[in-house]
């Protein structure tokens, strides 16, 4: 797998230092609020596990299965929800966790659906990575681990065709693997 990586952007040790900072900020901001973290499967599992172990609040955790890529490197434009019931967040403050903010469609669709259908007290979002680019849908995350360029990245939860999620770092996927030119 290592040979498929063009260059490493963030080593595990760098990610964990940043997660300490993000966790401290989230802990301060939520204090004694009733917090429910909603993790977007599958990409945010690694991020969620490392981040939440650094937040000493009595929070609850739920997951949402959503997809917008359908196996390629470009967002399909269609966000599909894979489950029929939403997390029970009535009267809770919600923090959505996702691996990466790209076109903005996924976060926007999730926020909109939760607010319209599940009666949370508030909804904020936290992503490990945010691509610096013009979003297809105007959305920004409230907490961002790292900003990156408009490149396709893998590792630490992020996949290409469901591979590479278990790499312990975030790296750029070699272009030749998906773009023959």
155 binds Mg ion (CB under 5 A): no
**Which span sits near Mg ion by CB under 5 A: 43-51, 113-121, 130-138, 141-149?**
43-51
User: Which among 117, 107, 138, 100 has a CA at the least distance from the CA of 38?
Assistant: 107
Nearer to Mg ion, 30 or 39 (CB): 39
Residue 121 has phi, psi (to 5 degrees) of: -75, -35
User: Which among 177, 181, 100 has a CA at the least distance from the CA of 141?
Assistant: 100
**Which span sits near ligand IMP by CB under 6 A: 8-16, 52-60, 95-103, 111-119?**
95-103
How many other CB atoms are found less than 10 A from the CB of residue 108?
18
Cβ-closest position to Mg ion? 43
User: Which among 85, 94, 97, 84 has a CA at the least distance from the CA of 119?
Assistant: 94
Q: Which two structure tokens, joined as six digits, stand for 102? A: 């790209």
Residue 107 has phi, psi (to 5 degrees) of: -60, -40
75 binds ligand IMP (CB under 6 A): yes
43 binds ligand IMP (CB under 6 A): yes
Nearer to Mg ion, 26 or 96 (CB): 96
Among 37, 52, 94, 100, binds ligand IMP (CB under 6 A): 100
Among 68, 121, 142, 177, binds ligand IMP (CB under 6 A): 68
Which among ligand IMP, Mg ion, none contacts residue 27 (Cβ within 5 to 8 A by kind)? none
Among 5, 23, 43, 97, binds Mg ion (CB under 5 A): 43
Per-residue mark of binding to ligand IMP, 149-168 (x: CB under 6 A) = ---xx----xx---------
User: Which among 167, 169, 175, 125 has a CA at the least distance from the CA of 150?
Assistant: 175
Interior CA angle at 122 toward 85 and 46, to 5°? Answer: 65
Question: 128 with 88: CB under 8 angstroms?
Answer: no
Which residues form the interface with ligand IMP (CB under 6 A)? Answer: 40, 43, 68-69, 75, 98-106, 152-153, 158-159
């Amino acid at each position: 797998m290592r040979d498929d990586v063009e260059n490493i952007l963030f080593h595990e040790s760098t990610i964990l230092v940043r997660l300490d900072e993000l966790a401290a900020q989230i802990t301060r901001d939520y204090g004694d609020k009733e917090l429910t973290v909603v993790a977007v499967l599958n990409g945010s599992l690694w991020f969620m596990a490392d981040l939440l172990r650094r937040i000493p609040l009595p929070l609850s955790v739920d997951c949402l299965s959503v997809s917008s890529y359908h196996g390629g490197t470009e967002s399909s434009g269609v966000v599909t929800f894979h489950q029929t019931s939403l997390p029970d967040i009535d009267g809770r403050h919600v923090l959505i966790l996702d691996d990466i903010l790209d076109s903005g469609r996924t976060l926007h669709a999730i926020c909109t659906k939760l607010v319209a259908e599940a009666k949370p007290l508030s909804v904020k979002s936290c992503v490990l990575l945010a691509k610096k680019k013009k979003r297809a849908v105007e959305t920004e995350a409230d907490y961002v681990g790292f900003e990156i360029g408009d490149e396709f990245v893998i590792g630490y939860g992020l996949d290409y065709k469901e591979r590479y999620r278990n790499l312990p770092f975030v790296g750029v996927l070699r272009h030749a693997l998906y773009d023959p030119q």
